């Protein structure tokens, strides 16, 4: 695996694990998908901002944060749309 890709993946894995644990412990089953989708969208925005900062500092892993932000955006929108139907 590419070294520049490893750090964004590990950071996002940690964020997602904390979100899933918080979602399981704090939410009831009725609003679970909507809350999870909204949190995924928030993480996508955070990844986009981190990617902008990392690109400005020219560390080399900024594009990977953008890639992960795009994937999370697609997942978050689809989870929210499932929750609203």
- Residue 32's pLDDT is what? 65
3-state secondary structure of 4: helix
User: Would you say residue 73 lies in a domain?
Assistant: yes
- Residue 36's pLDDT is what? 77
- Residue 30's pLDDT is what? 56
On whether the CB atoms of residues 45 and 81 are closer than 8 A, the answer is no
User: Would you say residue 2 lies in a domain?
Assistant: no
pTM comes to 0.75
pLDDT tens digits, 17-49: 877 777 777 766 556 677 778 888 888 898 899
pLDDT tens digits, 63-84: 888 888 998 899 888 888 877 7
Which structural domain, as residue segments, surrounds residue 76?
Answer: 32-85
- Residue 29's pLDDT is what? 59
State the total domains in the chain.
1
User: Would you say residue 11 lies in a domain?
Assistant: no
């Amino acid at each position: 695996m590419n070294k520049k890709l490893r750090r964004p993946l590990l950071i996002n894995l940690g964020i997602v694990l904390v979100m899933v644990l918080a979602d399981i412990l704090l939410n009831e089953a009725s609003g679970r998908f909507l809350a999870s989708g909204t949190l995924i969208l928030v993480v996508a925005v955070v990844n986009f901002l981190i990617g902008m900062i990392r690109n400005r500092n020219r560390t080399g892993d900024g594009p990977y944060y953008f890639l992960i932000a795009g994937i999370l955006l697609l997942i978050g929108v689809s989870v929210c749309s499932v929750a609203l139907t």
